Amino acid sequence: MAEVLVVGGGMAGISIAYELAAHARVVLVEAEPTLAAHTTGRSAAIFAPSYGGPVVRALTVASAPRYRALQTELDTPPLLTERLVVWLGADEEGAAHLEKLPAEPITPAQARRLCPVLRQVVAAGRDDGASDIDVMALHDGYRRGLRERGGTIRTGHRVTAIARDGAGWRVTADEELTADVVVDAAGAWADEVATRARVPTVGLRPLRRTAAIASGTQPIDPGWPLVADAANRYYFRPEGERLLISPSDETPSEPCDAKPDELDVALAMERINEHTTLGLRRVHTAWAGLRSFVADRAPVVGEWPGHPGFAFFAGQGGYGIQMAPALAAYGAALVLGRSVPGDIDVAARDVLPGRSAN
Ligand SMILES: Cc1cc2nc3c(=O)[nH]c(=O)nc-3n(C[C@H](O)[C@H](O)[C@H](O)COP(=O)(O)OP(=O)(O)OC[C@H]3O[C@@H](n4cnc5c(N)ncnc54)[C@H](O)[C@@H]3O)c2cc1C
């Protein structure tokens, strides 16, 4: 049985570790004292099949039935709770972007019925396949499932060196570990980890995104859809009787513990107040996280040619939760050289590191 060492305990690392553990001995090492401390713990928790490019959308669509199966398999609370997504063209710029989105067109009056605080609607579309995700229930389910499959988790173990050792690897993470295969699921740090193993990087760009919980002069209906500006200038959705807001910012960053900039929070309020009658005034809490992308914004899965035994599982960008179930099953199959699940309509050439050389 192969010994696989997974670096990173966010959604990427924990999900692929669980899938790998069905066929391999798995050790997951996480630098922080707790799992999911970085981007995974900071998402907006949305599942939207209309969001992302073709590879991301295929992985998201293939994840929908897997979420249902995982709920039983991992004995979790409900993982998905339906929430409509409305893509909004509030002005000509938004309407132009809307044409490129795979959303079902609705009239401005229909959009306003769904979310009565919208001020101006030029065009709109709906995604009926969307849901809120219980991110921590999914992550915790994978964690328990990994342990049940005999996998080991070491938190507070930062990987600082990775050296070839015969056909396998010697990995320093406070203690010395050995593995046949290393899976690099280190989020924003994935290129740094590759460099430690003397494996070429994939050109990952961590981009900071801000979110906040706000309230205003209007009562918020918890049943409203998520409303996303089609031109990517903001989105909002109810969080109980408050509102989760984001300016959809993408500020380049070094890999780090990202912090929100108050100007980005103010920008989200300003843009949402311009297009709605919400009158947002008060910010209750704000946070930021790094969404890490390669140039084509599809995830990076597998080995570089000529660098066997070191597999990337990175570049999940802004979609790493919604596509996690299918991406983990696909990634584990690629890493172990098994046939990839037939229902996932993604070609390996579209996710392997080579295609993203830039
Ligand atoms: C504001 C915001 C909103 C988002 N909204 C959504 C959404 O609605 N839907 C969606 O699907 N996605 C969303 N995302 C994106 C999603 O959160 C990410 O794609 C996903 O969490 C990435 O998971 P990850 O495991 O790759 O990264 P991370 O969660 O960052 O995990 C990487 C881990 O690797 C560890 N690590 C790094 N270096 C080392 C080392 N040397 N040794 C050991 N461990 C190491 C880190 O400590 C970290 O825990 C959002 C992101 C943000 C910031």
Regarding the beta carbon of 67 and ligand 1, being less than 6 Å apart is answered no
Question: How much distance in Å is there from the Cα of 40 to the middle of ligand 1?
Answer: 4
301-306 contacts: CB < 8 A, separation 24 or more? 301/327, 301/330, 301/331, 301/334, 301/348, 301/351, 301/352, 302/331, 302/334, 302/335, 302/348, 302/351, 302/352, 302/353, 303/352, 303/353, 304/199, 304/200, 304/353, 304/354, 305/354
Supply the CATH classification number for the domain 3-76+134-204+295-356: 3.50.50.60
Distance in angstroms (rounded) separating the CA atoms of residues 40 and 45: 9
Distance in angstroms (rounded) separating the CA atoms of residues 215 and 53: 32
Probe ligand 1: pick from 5, 6, 39, max atoms within 8 Å of CB? 39
Ligand 1: which atom is nearest the Cα of residue 319?
Answer: 11
End-to-end CA distance of the chain: 36
**Model pTM greater than 0.95?**
yes
Regarding the beta carbon of 209 and ligand 1, being less than 6 Å apart is answered yes
Regarding the beta carbon of 286 and ligand 1, being less than 6 Å apart is answered no
Q: Residues spanned by CATH 3.30.9.10 within the chain?
A: 85-127+206-293
Probe ligand 1: pick from 40, 85, 184, max atoms within 8 Å of CB? 40
Selecting from 3.40.50.10310, 3.90.440.10, 3.30.9.10, 3.50.50.60, what CATH number does the domain 85-127+206-293 have? 3.30.9.10
Quick one: CA dihedral 231, 299, 205, 255, positive or negative? Answer: positive
Question: How much distance in Å is there from the Cα of 11 to the middle of ligand 1?
Answer: 7
Ligand 1: which atom is nearest the Cα of residue 313?
Answer: 26
Q: Which two tokens stand for residue 161?
A: 């060196």
Burial of 201 from C-beta contacts in 10 A (0-12 / 13-18 / 19+): middle
Each of the 358 residues of the chain gets a pLDDT tens digit; together they read 779 999 999 999 999 999 999 999 999 999 999 999 999 999 999 999 999 999 999 999 999 999 999 999 999 999 999 999 999 999 999 999 999 999 999 999 999 999 999 999 999 999 999 999 999 999 999 999 999 999 999 999 999 999 999 989 999 999 999 999 999 999 999 999 999 999 999 999 999 999 999 999 999 999 999 999 999 999 999 999 999 999 999 999 999 999 999 999 999 999 999 999 999 999 999 999 999 999 999 999 999 999 999 999 999 999 999 999 999 999 999 999 999 999 999 999 999 998 854 4
Q: Which two tokens stand for residue 225?
A: 């859809």
Question: Using an 8 Å Cβ cutoff, are 227 and 118 in contact?
Answer: yes
Question: Using an 8 Å Cβ cutoff, are 86 and 114 in contact?
Answer: yes
Regarding the beta carbon of 10 and ligand 1, being less than 6 Å apart is answered yes
Regarding the beta carbon of 260 and ligand 1, being less than 6 Å apart is answered no
Distance in angstroms (rounded) separating the CA atoms of residues 294 and 302: 14
Regarding the beta carbon of 40 and ligand 1, being less than 6 Å apart is answered yes
Q: What pLDDT does residue 2 have?
A: 77
Question: How much distance in Å is there from the Cα of 310 to the middle of ligand 1?
Answer: 20
Q: What pLDDT does residue 1 have?
A: 76
Q: What pLDDT does residue 354 have?
A: 82
Regarding the beta carbon of 207 and ligand 1, being less than 6 Å apart is answered no
Which element (helix H / strand E) includes 287? strand 280-293
Max Cα-Cα span within the chain: 66
> Nearest CA to 122 among 136, 130, 111?
111
